[in-house]
Amino acid sequence: MQAYNFRELSPLDDGDVRLLKLHCGPRDAELEGNLVQRCLLPQKKVKTKRLGSQIVAIPSPESYDALSYTWGDDWPKGQEKHIKILVQSEVYIIRIRKNLFHALQQLRDESKSIYLWVDALCINQENGDEKSQQIQRMYLIYNKADQVRVWLGEEDNKSSEAIKFVTKCLNLDDFDRLVQATPTSGSWDALSTLMRRPWFNRRWIIQEISLARDATLHCGKETLPWRDFADCVSLLYHKRQDLKRLFRESPTFSNHPDYLGELTELGAIRLVYASDNLFRKSEHGEITDRLLSLEALMSSLTAFDASDPHDIVYAILWLAKDAKPYTTRERSPISFGPRQSYESPTDEIRSPITPLLKRVTWEENATPLTMDGPSRIDYNFFQLPDMRKTQSPPSSPKSRDEVQPAVKDTEKGKERLAKTQVVSSRIIVDYNADIFEVCSEFLKFVFDRSHSLDILCRPWAPNEPKLPSWIPQLANKPFGISQHGVHRRVNADPLVGTPGYSVVTYKASNATLARELRMRDKKLFVKGFVLDRIKEKSATATGGIIPCEWTDIGGWKTLDDYPPERFWRTLVGNRDLHSQRPPSHWKRVCREAFQRRPHRGDLNTTEAVMYDCPSAVREYLERVQCVVWSRRLILLGEQEDSLGLAPRTAKKGDEICILFGCSVPVVLRKYIDGVPARKYRKNDSNRGKNESRVDRNEPEVYYEFIGECYVHGMMDGEAFEVRKVDKSRHQEFELR
């Protein structure tokens, strides 16, 4: 036997895939199989291929299943396992990892061969071009499979009990009792442990499950239909408050109401919700329509990780209604079936506000990022008129009818409104690309459609230290996983919300749109104006604990009085849990919450929410946690009585800016010749670093993007009136 060399595999043409024909045998026997090449796409004629001097037919795939699993750890040295691959009279071996080995052992039939699609075996992982091409095929591979077989791993940590408990939960006559009876807490713990298995956190599984016509979970020897598991998870989600009470009454789990962590952030729960809400499907499981944009998907699926940073973007392209993946060597996209969003016969889409668009060219010294060969994406940046009466977000389809353009009724204006602009839907899938290229192209794609900068305030990008400050990384997402595998809040929610899932909460930029955007190297050029600077900052609300000094900064002298309007409203971002104006009784509730803290002590919002407190206080503090967690309370320098919330990394002297196209104010840190502006001196020796500059009278100025912020009284366009903003006050910010 010899090791199998993937480089000797025949290249795959358009529509071709490889399948593993797994030979039958008892569970403990050696794994054997063949790799067979099949044509996945429907063909009007029999597809053929030249092999040497012969023309042979490429058969359509047999009935097959697709495997969904995690690669996991490799074997310890000296204990490696393999599968035998038979090629005519030769026998080759392929080393496989532990998790795949156990999966193939368990799934193998004892009496007949079965066909499986397994990424580690059916894709040449050493060939970047083939990987990029075959990644495109995964939509069809999983949607055309008879079923998707999900391998969660070997039996462990009461996994068998958890799967059997799912069946009990589906008896609706007993379900209410199961979430109230203290003895069942052990079974709920077993189920939550199963739901925290690594498979549920993979980003690729979203499409693997969402596209499946049918799916089955496998864990050790136990099996469970996906639909049964999904229904149980949905029931659990709607009873999460009951489960908190159950664990609070359970001595076995130390009477800890938050023992299971934040259930809404569990990958299993997010996956069930996503699989039911990403598409419209026919009765036969075929995709008839995609419902969410790529921006909405990227902003809402932060609970799912990817081992390859490219997959933060690539793993969800096929789920979006407005994106078409391409490979570098293949200029035709894979067919996705009906797409209502594609209005052009050339597979391009028209932006909802395209009648208002006017093409502008890149500046000579600001050419877009390119790669060898064709451009990786169509760069369409636009100059738009001010639109300050918008009643819905620019990206919303409703804005087509609601936007009132600021164009005079002249022949020139009418001609301008009559023009339309086609926006490309293409994104290149290229695993050889630098991760900055992948991220910046995603942002250009978003800017083309939404003309909004809100995506700069949502964590979505892989954690890469070399990315510029204006690409927000997943390290700053609201929830993280503890060492015990449960989800805990680590940051506040983004103030800008999630597109496609919520209404626009704020309109700090007065519904203007991002225009005249430029990108050069790793710099982003945006326009706006400076509102104010940070005059004073407090300690951070780490862990949701509000420092006692916040009441002093907020001007609340004695807790016997009601809190100042600006203080209690700032703590909740002047919105309730549904993004509406908060109820008036929250002023009283705020006083009640702070009166429960130790005298002159900090307010621990987590303990107040988890343990006995009135429901009105709990509701208020739950909203407070969404807004203040890991943020600072700030006072601004020029605006009287101006109070706000800023990221924990904000410092005195940082500028509060309104960027056109961003629904909330942002904190920017100004640098002059590489020195923070607050420390800069005109004759600073640091200026010597830039002796190559042509004009030494104009120092190099740029900004670091610190993050979004809340400024009370400035969240709905008031800044334009306060600053008497006209074009003379506009400036361009170079973000690095």
Residue 57 is inside which H or E element, if any?
A: strand 54-57
Average pLDDT over residues 601-623: 89
- Predicted pLDDT of residue 482: 82
Position 723 pLDDT exceeds 90: no
Average pLDDT over residues 97-113: 95
Q: Among residues of the chain, what percentage have pLDDT more than 70?
A: 79
> Which range (191-205, 233-247, 352-366) has the least confidence?
352-366
Average pLDDT over residues 242-246: 87
What is residue 665's three-state secondary structure?
Answer: coil
Between 257 and 98, the more confident residue is: 98
- What gap in Å lies between CA 671 and CA 675, rounded to an integer? 5
Question: What would the pLDDT profile of 204-243 be if each residue is shown by its tens digit?
Answer: 999 999 889 899 999 999 999 999 999 999 999 998 888 8
- What gap in Å lies between CA 412 and CA 531, rounded to an integer? 34
- What gap in Å lies between CA 41 and CA 15, rounded to an integer? 5
Strand partners for 676: 671
Q: Using an 8 Å Cβ cutoff, are 20 and 43 in contact?
A: no
Only one residue has tokens 């009283």, namely: 588
- Predicted pLDDT of residue 370: 28
- What gap in Å lies between CA 718 and CA 732, rounded to an integer? 21
User: What is the overall mean pLDDT for the chain?
Assistant: 81
> Which range (591-605, 636-650, 689-703) has the least confidence?
689-703
- Predicted pLDDT of residue 599: 80
585 burial type by CB count under 10 A (0-12 exposed, 13-18 middle, 19+ buried)? exposed
In one-letter notation, the amino acid at residue 203 is: R
